Amino acid sequence: CHSLTKTKPKCITAGENMRNQPIGALNPKRAAFFTERYESWEDDQTPPCHYNTHYSTAATTLHWLVRIVSKISPAATLPLIIVLCAKSPNYDYTVCKNGNVSVPQELIPEFYYLPEMFVNSNGYHLGMREDRTMICDVDLPAWAKKPEDFVRINRMALESEFVSCQLHQWIDLIFGYKQRGPEATRALNVFHYLTYEGSVNLDSITDPLLREATEAQIQSFGQTPSQLLIEPHPPRSSAMHLCFLPQSPLMFKDQMQQDVIMVLKFPSNSPVTHVAANTLPHLTIPAVVTVTCSRLFAVNRWHNTVGLRGAPGYSLEQAHHLPIEMDSLVANNTGSNKRQITDLVDQSIQITTHCFVVTADNRYILVCGFWDKSFRVYSSETGKLTQIVFGHWDVVTCLARSESYIGGDCYIVSGSRDATLLLWYWSGRHHIIGDNPNNSDYPAPRAVLTGHDQEVVCVSVCAELGLVISGAKEGPCLVHTITGDLLRALEGPEHYLCPRLISVSSEGHCIIYYERGRFCNFSINGKLLAQMEVNDSTRAILLSSDGHNLVTGGDNGVVEVWQACDFKQLYIYPGCDAGIRAMDLSHDQRTLITGMASGSIVAFNIDFNRWHYEHQNRY
């Protein structure tokens, strides 16, 4: 297991399979071999099959994970894996396609998220090549400079439209109507009978030794999942109408439009320090919620105009086609008491984007920085205070919200000058911190996160990963689980000392902005993947929903778009006449909204796909 295929990945688990055949029969030579084996089957005691081994077994999984075995159970698994590697020290995945017909294995999920599996960090002796060199780390293909590149590109392929529009064919093979019976035979998809659910009635075997032998045989052959479907699975809706056409500039011709969609100037000149774009169409009020430095907020209605952009006769000057409509109470300067948070904050607090969180339904705003060491919940409709939450021993300095579950439930994290963080649960049903409406005055945090010895100034939480990443005033950044366990510290290079902004993706990459224009990209396992310095005092950062793109803005008033993995610049917008204080993306990732120091918001067109295409052509 020391070398991998030298060609560009096509998602072997869910991409190569898309030709209506299983992983074991991906070329005509192999297909002919397995067809002949099935048709000339002579064993009367065993039903015919195309493959004697399975596409997923415990042994092959352990084989793949040999280099990180110490993190699993070294005493139990290491001897087995050493034997496996001794039998096949030069395993190359290309044999699945071109060579050894006894290898029908698919890649395991770790190929798409765990670069550590390719590095022999434990220093195990894994055998010797024919040229007498020791096997150590996995030799990667030329297109991957490091394990992180290999995993990232594999995952991009797996999540691509090419795979999405054919995914139903893989489902048919593994879970559907081609798993068993005549359709499985036609699809060259018949495995050893012991791999199928219900093939053997273990309860009917009375001989203990025979039963133990049968169970061991079943385990060694692997297991086919339960058959869930007996009819073809419908194809997934995909943005690719013709899945096999390569990308070309023509795909983007309707997207070559001006950068700025609109500018919205609020009557107040107070800097817009927080922007939350919760624009999903199913919301009661799709809106861009803004909060200024003077704590005047606005619920600006969102109009979904994406379908109109680029259409014949479309004009950005037509107001009813603009995506954002200013909050009428703010525009008309009426009912300002419904939009002003008047409760006193601690005088030493600097109002930044970290001081606010807007719930996913736009109905509530959470605010911190109050002198009484609380953070508070306000209705965005009435401006009224609905809940006061205590828990810290000093002023609360920052808040963050995780992605929401169905129903609007999510995690809220509060950081404080007391050097701790508290993890809370927001109930979308009851619109309170905590899940007991009868005890909303005294909610209890789900976890207490410790480890900092200074004021916490920035935090990010990801429910999908179950992680909280936080930064102290003079560092370091810490990674906790949502149950409160401290996993590790993220130590930046020399002079990368004072974290100010954090953004984490569901893929496990953490972008940290330090003072003086310094950026780092860490894996959640603590590896520094990339670093850069920019000539700007950055005030806002965000990652695209897929985690591949980083958007930054700061005092220079320039929005820049970067490739998150290596900080290669993808696009730079023309400079604005004021500094940028906050930003967010619409749900469809097509519009960027920035909050400006001049008291306005600017909506930009975003086209990540085009920029990646142009970047690939340049390099």
Query: Per-residue pLDDT tens for 375-432?
Result: 999 999 999 999 999 999 999 999 999 998 878 899 999 999 999 999 999 999 999 9
Average pLDDT, the chain: 84
* Residue-level pLDDT at 78: 52
C-beta neighbour count of 291 within 10 angstroms: 27
In what helix (H) or strand (E) does residue 580 lie, and over which residues does it extend? strand 580-585
Is residue 271 within 8 Å of 595, Cβ to Cβ? yes
* Residue-level pLDDT at 252: 37
Q: Which range among 165-179, 194-208, 281-295 has the greatest average pLDDT?
A: 281-295
Residues contacting 611, CB < 8 A, separation 6+: 549, 561, 570, 571
Q: Is 179 exposed, middle or buried (0-12, 13-18, 19+ CB in 10 A)?
A: buried
Is residue 166 pLDDT above 90, yes or no?
no
Query: What is d(CA 593, CA 542) in angstroms, rounded to the nearest whole number?
Result: 11
Residue-wise pLDDT tens digits, 462-518: 999 999 999 999 989 999 999 999 999 998 898 899 999 999 998 888 999 999 999
Is residue 542 pLDDT above 90, yes or no?
yes
Of 25 and 294, the one with more pLDDT: 294
Is residue 256 within 8 Å of 617, Cβ to Cβ? no
Strand positions, DSSP E, 343-390: 356-358, 364-367, 375-379, 385-389
The verdict on pTM exceeding 0.85 is no
Q: With bands split at pLDDT 50, 70 and 90, how would you rate the model's confidence at 52? A: confident
Return the closest-CA partner of residue 475 out of 460, 461, 496, 459: 496
* Residue-level pLDDT at 558: 95
Is residue 450 pLDDT above 90, yes or no?
yes
Backbone φ, ψ for residue 485 (5° rounding): -75, 135
Angle at 554 between CA 549 and CA 557, to 5 degrees: 100
Calculate mean pLDDT across residues 57-75: 72
